[in-house]
Amino acid sequence: MSAKYVFVTGGVVSSLGKGIISSSLAKLLQSRNLRVTIQKFDPYLNVDPGTLNPYEHGECFVTEDGAETDLDLGHYERFLNIYTSRANNVTTGKIYRTVIDKERQGAYLGKTVQIIPHITDEIKRRMLLLGKSGQYDVIITEIGGTVGDIESLPFIEAMRQLQWELPDEDCLVIHLTLVPYLSAAKELKSKPTQHSVKLLQQDGVQPDILICRTEHKLSMELRKKLALFCNVRPNAVIESIDADTIYKVPLMMRDEKLDEIVLEKFGLNDTPEPDLEGWKAFLDRLAHPEANITVALVGKYVELQDAYKSILEAFIHAGAANRCKVKVVPIHSEYLTEDNVEEKLAGMDGILIAPGFGERGLEGKIKAVRYAREKGVPFFGICLGMQMAVVEFARNVLGLKDAMSTEVEANTANPVIDLMADQKTTTVKGGTMRLGAYKCQIEEGSLAYRIYGKPLISERHRHRYELNNDYVARLNEAGMRTSGRNPETGLVEIVEIPEHPFFIGVQFHPEYKSTPENPQPIFVAFVKAALEYNKSRQK
């Protein structure tokens, strides 16, 4: 069977949840034994989102092969329980870079290099790449941005061309739109969707399916009206009503028969019925918690939920695994002071210090670590959070008052966190951190060993700095164990304090690999420890 391509576009407004819709359709098709992957085409000029501030575009998600990508790839992995890769996220910056490099090499000698055909050819090549690998039956391509944007036009044009180049039964376009409710008129309005589809049609693309984001149910009358004006069949007007959890959306799309409509167009009539038992079991655990805990997420991008997307999702998975509802309270590290740290953290059953870059909020993070360490509150530090746990320990236990990371204090006398050797000569910022999956050897008898239940693990990374090995002996002697190391380089990957009920810091980002069907072990153990701490405080 040739690979089938689904394109997902968005109209009317941004933030409609194309990523969740794409993931939900993918989940349904995967549950029918099809091999599915999802890719995202982003219309900005950054080569990847690694150089973007999280305020701009939310979390930067890191793949196994070390690509810094859009946070939607996190949703793809969580829903499908498979890994994505560098090839799954393409930006306008990547496309132009390839074309311009080729032009310099003389690949187009004698020709004027143009958006059509050169840029669109490169877009099409990348759109078909995963399909050509033979690994997948269905490739869902999410086109970032909103139809009508100048910057996404070349993507829409490439998709238009592919609609004609691919056999009709191999290609399908979904348009996700908003059907707003006007409370004064007590009515759902179809006009924005009609306009949005017209914009697509002007660009030569006729969607096969409309998915309508709405706060109220769509009547059959409204579906028929949308179908009539937008050239789709009434059963291809799909309702996507607001859900209390994104993980319900696959079941809602199943109720709307989205998978059946897609399979019909593809002529795939003999796939088995969806098997969603594992997914439903997760949703059941999620819906019926037996306990509640509150954990602090100490970071500097807390105003924006999306900045720590994978961490928040990992708590949902770990909560369900423990049959416990985890309330995550964002705490702004910039405003944590000596005077208020106790008051702000008093009600917490666990404290997580988030990853991050730069100086802002660092002292607040160090104060939060000290509080957790001294009060015996379950502690989990990720990347920068782990680094600040080491700084705090060096300052307040080893007595090295000026201990700091050279990321913010280049000339500190006690650089307990320092630039990795191979980073010292790196000047280019984009894509040059220690990125992607690396192995970690865990010491037997450690907390990390109990958590993972095995000596060799692999987790994803995104950092330039590391624990300075010159300080390891002193840290160990004073009670901070370095329980995990990279077997090739000896870089410290995990620190813990055996005296403490639950204190772990990891240089890697365990949140990236957590999924509903495979909750990440440290998150599961941290939630369990927080639950125990909560119970012990009730006594």
Instruction: Give whichever of 150 and 428 is closer to ligand GLN, judged by the CB atom.
Output: 428
- Judged by beta carbon, residue 32 or residue 461, the one nearer ligand GLN is 461
Residue located via tokens 């890769």: 85
Report, in Å, the least distance between residue 304 CB and ligand GLN: 16
- Residue 517 Cβ, how far from ligand GLN at the closest point, in Å? 26
464 touches ligand GLN by CB under 6 A = yes
Does 274 bind ligand GLN (CB under 6 A)? Our answer is no
DSSP string, 166-230: S-GGGEEEEEEEE--EETTTTEE--HHHHHHHHHHHHTT---SEEEEEESSPPPHHHHHHHHHHH
Minimum CB–partner distance for residue 357 and ligand GLN (Å) = 4
Say whether 509 is catalytic: yes
- Which of 50, 356, 510, 521 is the binder for ligand GLN (CB under 6 A)? 356
Kindly state whether residue 465 participates in binding ligand GLN, applying the rule CB under 6 A.
yes
Question: In the chain, helix, strand, coil percent, each to 5?
Answer: 40, 20, 35
Per residue, the 3-state secondary structure of 42-78, as one string, reads ECCCCCCHHHCCHHHHCCCEECCCCCEECCHHHHHHH
Check residue 418 for interaction with ligand GLN (CB under 6 A). no
- Nearest distance from C-beta of residue 417 to ligand GLN, angstroms: 7
From 87-95, 147-155, 456-464, 490-498, give the range in contact with ligand GLN by CB under 6 A: 456-464
Q: Which is nearer to ligand GLN, 324 or 491 (CB)?
A: 491
- CB nearer to ligand GLN: give 325 or 434: 434
User: Which 8-state DSSP code applies to residue 235?
Assistant: G
- Of 49, 355, 436, 521, the one binding ligand GLN by CB under 6 A: 355
Residue range at the interface with ligand GLN (CB under 6 A); choices 24-32, 395-403, 439-447, 463-471:
463-471
Residue 81, classified by CB atoms within 10 Å of its CB into exposed (0-12), middle (13-18) or buried (19+), is middle
Choice among 383, 407, 440, 500 that is catalytic: 383
Q: By C-beta, is 90 or 417 nearer to ligand GLN? A: 417
User: Of 536, 535, 497, whose CA–CA distance to 374 is shortest?
Assistant: 497
Which of 380, 465 has the CB closer to ligand GLN? 465
Pick one of 83, 96, 108, 357: the residue that binds ligand GLN (CB under 6 A).
Answer: 357
Instruction: Tell me whether residue 70 or residue 170 sits nearer to ligand GLN (CB atom).
Output: 70
Which window, 10-18, 40-48, 205-213, 349-357, contacts ligand GLN (CB under 6 A)?
A: 349-357
| Residue whose CB is less far from ligand GLN, 160 or 463 | 463
Q: Does 510 bind ligand GLN (CB under 6 A)?
A: no
DSSP-derived 3-state class of residue 306: helix
Q: Annotated catalytic, 64?
A: no
Q: How many residues bind ligand GLN (CB under 6 A)?
A: 10
Tokens coding 405: 């990371």
Residue 407 binding ligand GLN, by CB under 6 A = yes
Among 222, 383, 472, 522, binds ligand GLN (CB under 6 A): 383
End-to-end CA distance of the chain: 62
- Verify binding: residue 460, ligand GLN, rule CB under 6 A: no
Q: How far is the CB of 383 from ligand GLN (least distance, A)?
A: 3
Closest distance of CB 355 from ligand GLN, Å: 3
> Crossing angle, helix 72-80 and helix 18-30, to 10 degrees?
20
317 CB-near residues (< 8 Å, 6+ apart): 78, 282, 514, 515, 516, 518, 519, 520, 523, 524
Contacts of range 248-257, beta carbons closer than 8 Å, 24 or more positions apart = 248/283, 249/17, 249/20, 249/21, 249/23, 249/24, 250/23, 250/24, 250/27, 250/28, 250/31, 250/79, 250/276, 250/279, 251/276, 251/279, 251/280, 251/283, 252/24, 253/21, 253/24, 253/25, 253/28, 254/28
- Contact between 108 and ligand GLN by CB under 6 A: the answer reads no
Q: Residue 218 or 353: which CB sits closer to ligand GLN? A: 353
Q: Is 462 in the site for ligand GLN (CB under 6 A)?
A: yes
Pick from 42, 20, 294, 9: nearest CA to 160:
9
- Member of 95, 384, 457, 506 binding ligand GLN (CB under 6 A): 384
Residue whose C-alpha is closest to residue 474's, from 383, 397, 366: 397
Whole-angstrom distance, CA of residue 335 vs CA of residue 325: 27
Question: Does residue 463 bind ligand GLN (CB under 6 A)?
Answer: yes
Q: CA-to-CA distance for 271 and 34, rounded, in angstroms?
A: 8
Interface residues with ligand GLN (CB under 6 A)?
Answer: 355-357, 383-384, 407, 462-465
Which residues have a catalytic role annotated? 383, 509, 511
